[in-house]
């Protein structure tokens, strides 16, 4: 009889965090593996974090802790807006970002734009606990196209934009969705009082230049840019995010007001995000604040951001 929790120790997922550091995940089984038009995709059952989506060798989210990443990405910006009705999502293939956006009763329309239909279809099939039927919500519209082309051409305006993209690896589909030009396109499609949030990569100990550069790039466009971070166990690091707006400062809300808005808008209790955790997320250590203030690099189409 197979022992509970047993897995073949010769099967490992090696996730490169940098040229000099990797994390190794024990794999119980590979549910699906394919090379799409845009990237290499795997659905794997890990020994520690459950079923996970892996793109180009990097874990995007794991079943047991995905709520930490997705709640932290979605809710600070959504709660900072007084009444978000229309939401644009760039990326978000697992459907969990869409799921958390649609938790807000104020939302009337959420448009998710992901370039890779094959990955989204895999997530629909293998990650039901992630999307929880969000793709079929009548308020949701899922489009399979380049998010940059969509936002440049649409006549829609949005209260909140959630940029939930894979890291900008060289020759990857997201390389030109981390630039000043792209963020400017998104800004121009925000309604008055609108706010954008971006997943900004590692913010703990390595590859911090990406977190710093995204911060500088957003500051070259928006009045209020608020960096924050949370620890995501399956990433084995602190993970960075930024809210950006010309009118909304996400750090100005009190814990009481955040909890009040959550109680009014959501019919579920979140696992990681509330008023107290919001304040903690935006309380960065001194060394990080000093480096953010010093860094001036702006990411452009001519000088894109690349994660190695």
What CATH number does the domain containing 54 carry? 2.30.140.10
Assess whether 53 and 97 both reside in one domain: no
**Residues spanned by the domain of 51:** 12-60
Instruction: Give a three-class secondary structure readout of the chain.
Output: CCCCCCCCCCCEEEEEEECCEEEEEEEEEEEEEEECCCCEEEEEEECCCEEEEEECCEEEEECCCHHHHHHHHHHHHHHHCCCCCEEEEEECCCCHHHHHHHCCCCCCEEEEECCCHHHHHHHHHHCHHHHCCHHHCCCEEEECCCHHHHHHHCCCCEEEEEEECCCCCCCCCCHHHCCHHHHHHHHHCEEEEEEEEEEEEECCCCCHHHHHHHHHHHHCCCCEEEEEEEEEHHHCEEEEEEEEECCCCCCCCCHHHHHHHHHHHCCCCCCCCCHHHHHHHCCCCHHHHHHHHHCCCCCCCCCCCCCC
Catalytic residue at 45? Answer: no
What CATH number does the domain containing 257 carry? 3.40.50.150
Residue 308 lies in a domain: no
Assess whether 41 and 71 both reside in one domain: no
Of 60, 80, 100, the residue that ends a domain is: 60
Assess whether 53 and 179 both reside in one domain: no
Residue 246 lies in a domain: yes
Residue 1 lies in a domain: no
The pLDDT-based confidence of 308 (bands split at 50, 70, 90) is low
Assess whether 27 and 123 both reside in one domain: no
Residue 73 lies in a domain: yes
What are the tens digits of pLDDT across the range 92-139?
Answer: 999 999 999 999 999 999 999 999 999 999 999 999 999 999 999 999
When divided into structural domains, the chain yields a total of 2
Name the catalytic one among 114, 116, 159, 164. 164
Assess whether 121 and 95 both reside in one domain: yes
The pLDDT-based confidence of 1 (bands split at 50, 70, 90) is very low
Average pLDDT over residues 193-215: 93
pTM of the full structure: 0.93
Residue 307 lies in a domain: no
């Amino acid at each position: 009889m197979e022992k509970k929790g047993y897995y073949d120790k010769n099967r490992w997922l090696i996730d490169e965090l940098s040229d000099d550091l990797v994390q190794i995940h024990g794999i119980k089984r590979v549910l699906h593996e394919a090379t799409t038009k845009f990237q290499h995709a795997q659905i794997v059952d890990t020994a520690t974090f459950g079923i996970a989506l892996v793109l180009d060798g990097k874990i995007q989210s794991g079943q047991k802790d995905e709520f930490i990443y997705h709640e932290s990405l979605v809710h600070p910006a959504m709660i900072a807006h007084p009444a978000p009705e229309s939401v644009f999502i760039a990326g978000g293939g697992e459907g969990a970002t869409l799921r958390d956006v649609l938790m807000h009763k104020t939302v009337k329309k959420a448009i998710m734009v992901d370039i890779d239909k094959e990955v989204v279809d895999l997530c629909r099939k293998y990650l039901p606990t992630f999307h929880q039927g969000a793709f079929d919500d009548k308020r949701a519209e899922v489009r399979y196209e380049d998010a940059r082309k969509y936002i440049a051409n649409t006549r829609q305006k949005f209260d909140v934009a959630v940029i939930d993209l894979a890291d900008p690896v060289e020759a990857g589909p997201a390389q030109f969705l981390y630039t000043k030009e792209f963020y400017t396109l998104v800004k121009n499609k925000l309604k008055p009082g609108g706010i954008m949030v971006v997943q900004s990569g590692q913010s703990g100990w390595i590859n911090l230049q990406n977190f710093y550069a995204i911060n500088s790039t957003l500051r070259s466009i928006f009045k209020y840019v608020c960096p924050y971070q949370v620890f995501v166990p399956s990433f084995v690091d602190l993970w960075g995010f930024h809210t950006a707006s010309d009118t909304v400062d996400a750090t100005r809300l009190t814990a009481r007001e955040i909890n009040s808005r959550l109680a009014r808008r959501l019919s579920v209790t979140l696992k990681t995000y509330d008023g107290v955790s919001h304040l903690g997320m935006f309380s960065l250590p001194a060394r990080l604040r000093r480096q953010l203030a010093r860094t001036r690099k702006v990411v452009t189409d001519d000088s894109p951001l690349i994660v190695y």
